[in-house]
Homo-oligomer: A and B are copies of this chain.
């Protein structure tokens, strides 16, 4: 069943639910799912609506134009996506493979991560063999000292050329420039190997061990120019004991990182996330 998914944001006021649901009813659409969230502090209203468009009589352009007209009357901000349009995802990696594996296995074998992955980009050659396993082109753009922007340019060219919708930093150990992030604002997901805001920055497992924490975690978030400060999408943790040394933490952390990252990417691909300032609204379905 093909669906149209609307992510809507508006100032909160009476009648929004009635107005929007009646719009779809009058057009003879079946609303499959309608979720809302009101942020009382900011007086903001968020909504996710999924409607069945299997039997739609209009073209998609007509449909889009019609809703755009309607949205204007209510001053709604929104995005509209169709579930039969596959999103195109680029994965950026450095040397560690666990997150990459998980994304590829879910996308290609489990088929429960619906997207196309036309390319993998790295600043190191190490993971080419994994790309080969999954028959995906692997671009290795090493970073030369002083050549950071040049390297980014090479990446951006490939992203543009391949019509990439979402960039996933699957343990890509480089900081992206403001320019890069602006071009893909809200479309870059990073995994940080700590329970943010604890242990921002480098070498978090060693620091977690030294601090003697009793749980470790991982955090998937949208990348922003302030490193590790972007809106959090998903987090998870696991219990550790004094017996676990820094290397154990690293190993255990990998399992957390990859499931957190895969969940976050799935939520994004399913159009379940609306960002509001530093916070994300992640609808459950």
Contacts and interface: CB of A to CB of B under 8 A. Distances in A.
A284 B22 CA distance: 25
B214 A40 contact: no
A242 B212 contact: no
B243 A284 contact: yes
Nearest to A262: B255
A197 B211 contact: yes
A163 interface: no
A235 B213 contact: yes
Copies in the complex: 4
B214 A232 contact: yes
Nearest to A14: B30
A252 to B, nearest CB: 10
Q: Main secondary structure on chain A at its contact with chain B?
A: mixed
B245 A255 contact: no
Nearest to A240: B235
A212 B280 contact: yes
B214 A234 contact: yes
A265 to B, nearest CB: 14
Contacts of A21: 17-18, 21-22
- Of listed A17, A33, A38, residue having the most chain B CB within 10 A: A17
Contacts of A69: none
Contacts of A112: 251
Interface stretch (A97-105, A152-160, A170-178, A183-191): A97-105
A197 to B, nearest CB: 5
Contacts of A241: 282, 284
B14 A25 contact: yes
Given A25-B18, A243-B284, A195 B215 contact: yes
Nearest to A278: B212
16 contacts: A15-B25, A18-B22, A18-B31, A21-B22, A34-B34, A40-B245, A97-B105, A195-B215, A197-B199, A212-B232, A214-B234, A214-B282, A241-B284, A242-B279, A243-B285, A259-B259
Given A17-B34, A215-B235, A215-B236, 15 more contacts: A14-B28, A14-B31, A17-B25, A18-B21, A18-B22, A22-B22, A35-B35, A101-B101, A109-B130, A110-B254, A211-B232, A214-B235, A242-B279, A243-B284, A259-B259
